[in-house]
Amino acid sequence: MKDLGSRNNNNAQAWFYSDIVREHFFHPQNFLERDLVDGEYNAIGRAGSPACGDELRVWLLIDQTSERIKKFYWRTFGCASAIAATSMTSIITTRDKGMTLDEARKLTPQVIMEALGGLPARKIHCSVLSDKALRDAVNDYYRRTQQFDKIEPEATRIIDPVARVTDKDIEEAVLSGAFTIDEIVQKTKVNITDPRVGQEVAQLLRFYLEKYNKL
C-alpha cells in the first residue's frame, strides 16, 4: 500500500492506499460534471453515511431490451475511498456489454475492494456506498418501468441465506447494543463460518457503528 500523503501543512495523519485507489481518486472515471438531460439516464440511486459525511448519487442508462447497464454516472461528496470505490464501480458495471440488473444487485463490497487493491480497515464502510446506491438505482428503474414485483427494498437484502439474516437485522442488533461480531452472532444467529457471510457482517457492523457514532 502506498501513502497518498497529507492534504495540509499541519502534519495531518497520512492515509495509505493502493496505487489503483490513488489513480481513481485523482482521475475518477464517469464522474458527472454536468446535469444530464432526458434520455441520458433512466434510473437514479442514492446512498449516504451521516457518520463520515459521504453522500453519493448515481445515474444509470439501462438498455430496456437487455436490461444491461450502458452508462453509470455519479457524484459524491466524500473521502478518497468513496470516490475511488464509486469510480471503480462505474467501470465494473459497464465493461464488456454491461452488467445485467440481476448481476448488478449481486455486486458486493468485497469485489469492489479487491478491484481497488484493498482499502484501509477504517475506510471499508465507504465502499459500501456505491453498491447500495447501485441497488437503489436498480429499484428506481423497476419503478419507472412499472415492474413492481422486481423491487427489492434494501432493508430486506439477505446476508445469510440459511438463517435468513438481513442487513436490517444487523443494523437493529447494533442499535440494541451489539458492538462486536460475537454480540451480532448472539442476537441474530448469523453464520459467520461462511467466509462470504463473515466478511459482509464485519463490514456492515463497522458501517453501522460509524453511522450511529458507536466507535
Listed by start position, the domains of the chain span: 13-146, 155-215
Q: What contacts 191, CB < 8 A, 6 or more positions away?
A: 160, 162, 163, 197
How is domain 13-146 classified at the CATH fold level? Sufe protein. Chain: A (3.90.1010)
Structure-block grid coordinates of residue 79 = 473521502
- pTM here is 0.69
Q: What is the mean pLDDT of residues 84-91?
A: 95
> What is the spatial distance between Cα 177 and Cα 144, in angstroms, rounded to a whole number?
39
53-64 pLDDT, tens per residue? 668 999 999 999
Alpha carbons 132 and 91: distance in angstroms, whole number = 16
Predicted pLDDT at 78: 77
CATH of 155-215, one of 1.10.286, 1.10.10, 1.10.3470, 1.10.1740: 1.10.10
Residue 13 reports pLDDT greater than 50: no
Burial class of residue 35, CB neighbours in 10 A (0-12, 13-18, 19+):
exposed
Residue 23 has pLDDT above 90, yes or no: yes
